[in-house]
Amino acid sequence: MSFYSFATKLVRTLPAEPAHRATIKALKTGLGPITTQKPDPVLATDVGGLKLDNPIGLAPGFDKDAEVPDAMLAAGFGFVECGTVTPRPQIGNPKPRLFRLSEDKAVINRMGFNNGGLEVFKKRLERRQGKPGIVGANFGANKDSKDRVADYVKSLRELWGLADYFTINISSPNTPGLRDLQAESAMDDLLGRIAETRAELTGDQPSPPLFLKVAPDLIESQIEQITNQARTYGLNAIIVSNTTIDRPDHLRSAHKSEVGGLSGAPLFERSTRVLAEFAAAADGRIDLIGVGGIASGADAYAKIRAGAKAVQLYSALVYSGPGLVMDIRRDLAARVKADGFKTLAEAVGS
Ligand SMILES: Cc1cc2nc3c(=O)[nH]c(=O)nc-3n(C[C@H](O)[C@H](O)[C@H](O)COP(=O)(O)O)c2cc1C
């Protein structure tokens, strides 16, 4: 057994949230895996204008306060998305609020955007300027905000120049009413004000990519509407998806009825289906990033074949530890080549 699989097993003897804190602490101390292996060139991809040397990203929620992006890049991720950050610090929901569903290889969380706020997040990103590696900033609204759109605008302004891309998160199920921002008129208001701010900040320079992260609990008409609006307002990619409020019948774990968002293996099928629906609606006019239940190279490949140009994962790390990313990289490269594709782009939507 490797040191990392041993450490992962040890951390899993703790309750879920203290285990996560311990993992972040260990990573901050330099105890994470470090790979010197360059990704197979077949894994290079371009998503929403971002050039990645491998398409496997760390999904937000793992590093909400931008404490360990470089440690996670060193572990082999092609990009790391920090956040969700809100303008003001927030304690989130009462604990316990994070549950392992081990028998289902799943997680339920109702964290509620616990985070240290924009100021500390910004300082950490400032401190890492000049380091290599793609780091994105995912932002959301404070729970008690009077003007949620203003929260998104503020984060974009404050973080401008400090991240390689930005993600507008309107899909967490744990901030009451947040997902209502996915409705047509609310999206017009939000994306309109974001687009104005972006144009002002960009001037005549190239703008960093701007992504939108959506829920998997959407119907076809909403998928059409969101895709069209994302294009209208100049977004560069849609990230599909956040956690689901659905509870599939086959769940077996004791915590299956906890309130919150379900992620991990039981989310794979739904999020991949919704991804394919977005791909059909987009018809190549906007890029997609696939997230939800990825735990292997085969899972990542399925997202790519459903239309994603890059993928992200989080929950599988709870069960396999950060060493998993290298296994996925190797397996994905082998699969792409075995099918005769010369580049990852050829496999997208195939
Ligand atoms: C504990 C936890 C916290 C999360 N926090 C966030 C968050 O702050 N912002 C966000 O956009 N997604 C968040 N997510 C969702 C993940 O980024 C991802 O979309 C989802 O978990 C599906 O991927 P997975 O099955 O690989 O975990 C969180 C997920 C978990 C498990």
Separation in Å, CA 136 to CA 60, 162, 180, 299: 9, 9, 24, 23
Respond yes or no: is residue 172 known to be catalytic.
Answer: yes
Q: How confident is the model at residue 9 (pLDDT cuts 50, 70, 90)?
A: confident
CA distance 100 to 255: 7
Best residue among 95, 100, 243 to mutate for probing ligand 1's pocket (most ligand atoms within 8 Å of CB) is 243
Catalytic hit among 171, 172, 315, 320: 172
pLDDT digits (tens, 9 = 90+) for 211-260: 999 999 999 999 999 999 999 999 999 999 999 999 999 999 999 999 99
Give the pLDDT score at 28: 95
Instruction: List pLDDT tens digits, range 282-326.
Output: 999 999 999 999 999 999 999 999 999 999 999 999 999 888 999
Cα separation values, 19 from 30, 81, 213, 241, 315, Å? 17, 20, 26, 25, 13
Per-position DSSP letters for 43-65, written without gaps between them: G-EEETTEEESS-EEEPTTSSTT
- Look up the domain containing 205 and give its range: 3-347
Task: For residues 31-38, give the mean pLDDT.
Answer: 92
Measure Cα distances from 24 to 65, 210, 306, 322 in Å. Answer: 10, 27, 32, 11
Q: What is the CATH number of the domain that holds 299?
A: 3.20.20.70
Instruction: Tell which atom from ligand 1 comes closest to the C-alpha of 291.
Output: 23
* Closest atom, ligand 1, to C-alpha of 312: 26
**Residues in contact with ligand 1 (CB, 6 Å cut-off):** 59-61, 64, 83-84, 98, 107, 109, 111, 138, 169, 172, 213, 242-243, 263-264, 267, 291-294, 313-316
This prediction's pTM: 0.98
User: Is residue 97 pLDDT above 90, yes or no?
Assistant: yes
pLDDT of residue 284: 96
Model confidence pLDDT, tens digit, residues 144-192: 999 999 999 999 999 999 999 999 999 999 999 999 998 999 999 999 9
Report whether pLDDT(113) > 80.
Answer: yes
Residue 46 binned pLDDT confidence (cut-offs 50, 70, 90): very high
User: What residues does 211 pair with on adjacent strands?
Assistant: 167, 237
DSSP per position, 209-270: PEEEEE-S---HHHHHHHHHHHHHTT--EEEE---BS---TT--SGGGG-SSEEEEGGGHHH
What's the number of domains the chain is made of? 1
pLDDT band at 124 (very low <50, low <70, confident <90, very high): very high
> Which numbered atom of ligand 1 lies nearest the CA of 263?
25
Q: Which residues contact 152 (CB under 8 A, 6 or more apart)?
A: 139, 140, 141, 168, 190, 193, 194
- 182 φ, ψ (degrees, to nearest 5): -80, -10
Give percent above pLDDT 70 in the chain. Answer: 99
pLDDT of 139 above 90: yes
Mean pLDDT throughout 92-118?
A: 98
